[in-house]
Amino acid sequence: MIPVIWLLIVQGALGALDTLWYHEWKVALHSRAGAQRELVLHASRNFCYASLYGLLAWREWHGPVAVVFFVLLAAELVITLTDFLEEDRTRKLPGGERVMHALVGVAWGAMLVYFLPVLWSWLHAPPELVPVDYGALSWVLGVMAFGAAGFGLRDAYFARRQFDKVAAP
């Protein structure tokens, strides 16, 4: 699991950099008219990652409950692909943001190479929540879970604010 965790941390760091540098500073998505759908997608993806980080930090999820991870990974993929289409539809991405998205995608694919066999073994194991402690890596995942949830809430808030502005007479 250590390679999975390291790749999640790398991917999360790249995602955080993308969020802070491009979405918050360069593009200011939260104040951009017409960004409501993109903000909803970002919020949804952040909640997927918050769940993924939080669930993996201290436990292995053996048995049928491992399906939750397959669902989270599939949801993340659908959200990300939909977000790519939405971004292309609504704005011109800076070149660096497009490169950042590619790097995040590479890290995600590498993580899947390691994680899917682990998930498959968990799925076929007897049902049990197995305590694990990856030392500092568990704590990093925990912090990342809170960060992703916080940005998910923030994106959802600004999406709602934009919806309210559009809906107001």
Nearest residue to 43 via CA among 163, 165, 167, 166: 163
- Which ranges in the chain belong to alpha helices (H)? 2-17, 36-58, 67-90, 95-123, 136-167
Report the predicted TM-score, pTM, of the whole model to 2 decimal places: 0.92
Q: Are strands 59-62 and 128-131 parallel, antiparallel or unpaired?
A: antiparallel
**Which one-letter DSSP state was computed for residue 65?**
G
Task: Inform me whether the pLDDT recorded for 163 exceeds 90.
Answer: no
Domain total of the chain: 1
Q: How far apart are CA 8 and CA 141, in angstroms?
A: 8
pLDDT in tens, 66-117: 999 999 999 999 999 999 999 999 999 889 999 999 999 999 999 999 999 9
CB contact at 8 A, 129 and 62:
yes
Structural domain that includes position 93: 2-167
The H or E element containing residue 61 is strand 59-62
pLDDT in tens, 129-145: 999 999 999 999 999 99
